Structure 1
Amino acid sequence: MEVANLEEIIANFVIQNKENYYRLAYYYVKNSADALDVVQEAIIKALSKKESLKNPDAIKTWFYQIVVHTALDLLRKQKRSVIVDDETLTIYDSGHTDHYDDMDLKKALDTLPIQYQSVIVLRYMEDLKINEIALVLNENANTVKTRLYKALNLLRIQLDEVEEGDFQ
Structure 2
Amino acid sequence: MHDNEAQNIIKGDEELIQAILAGNGEGYADIVERYQTGLFRTAYYYTQNVEDARDLTQDIFIKAYNNLTVFRQGSAFSTWLYRIAVNHCLDWCRKKKPQYVEASCFDNLCTEEDSPEDLFLQQEIASEVQTAVASLPPIYSTVLILYYFQDFSPQQIAEITDTPKRTVETRLFRGRKMLREKLHSMSSGGEGHDLLSKPG
Q: Structure 1 CA distance, aligned partners of 2:24 and 2:156?
A: 21
State TM-score, norm by structure 1: 0.72
Instruction: Please tell me whether residue 120 in structure 1 is matched to residue 144 in structure 2.
Output: yes
- Alignment partner of 1:37 out of 42, 50, 55: 55
1:145 alignment partner in structure 2: 169
Q: Structure 2 CA distance, aligned partners of 1:42 and 1:122?
A: 16
Structure 1 runs, 4 residues or longer, greater than 6 Å off: none
State whether residues 26 and 35 of structure 1, in contact with CA within 8 Å, keep that contact through their aligned partners in structure 2: yes
Q: Structure 1 CA distance, aligned partners of 2:24 and 2:52?
A: 27
2:102 alignment partner in structure 1: none
My pick for the range that moved more, 45-54 or 7-16, is 7-16
The code of the aligned residue for 1:157 comes to: E
State whether residues 6 and 50 of structure 1, in contact with CA within 8 Å, keep that contact through their aligned partners in structure 2: no
The code of the aligned residue for 1:158 comes to: K
C-alpha distance 125-4 of structure 1, shift in aligned 2 (>3 A): same
Q: Structure 2 CA distance, aligned partners of 1:39 and 1:108?
A: 22
Q: Structure 1 CA distance, aligned partners of 2:155 and 2:26?
A: 26
Q: Structure 2 CA distance, aligned partners of 1:17 and 1:79?
A: 26
Question: Which stretches in structure 2 are left out of the alignment for 5+ residues?
Answer: 1-17, 99-126, 191-200
Tell me how far 1:64 sits from its aligned partner: 0.9
2:95 alignment partner in structure 1: 77
Tell me how far 1:157 sits from its aligned partner: 3.0
Deviations 1:73-111 (A, max 9, x none): 12222236xxxxxxxxxxxxxxxxxxxxxx933333233
SS at match of 1:139: coil
State whether residues 46 and 63 of structure 1, in contact with CA within 8 Å, keep that contact through their aligned partners in structure 2: yes
Tell me how far 1:133 sits from its aligned partner: 0.9
Q: Structure 2 CA distance, aligned partners of 1:127 and 1:38?
A: 21
SS at match of 2:156: helix
CA RMSD of aligned residues (A): 2.7
State TM-score, norm by structure 2: 0.62
C-alpha distance 39-161 of structure 1, shift in aligned 2 (>3 A): closer
C-alpha distance 22-161 of structure 1, shift in aligned 2 (>3 A): closer
My pick for the range that moved more, 132-141 or 104-113, is 104-113
Higher helix share: 1
Instruction: Please tell me whether residue 130 in structure 1 is matched to residue 148 in structure 2.
Output: no
Question: Which stretches in structure 1 are left out of the alignment for 5+ residues?
Answer: 81-102
Aligned residues: 144
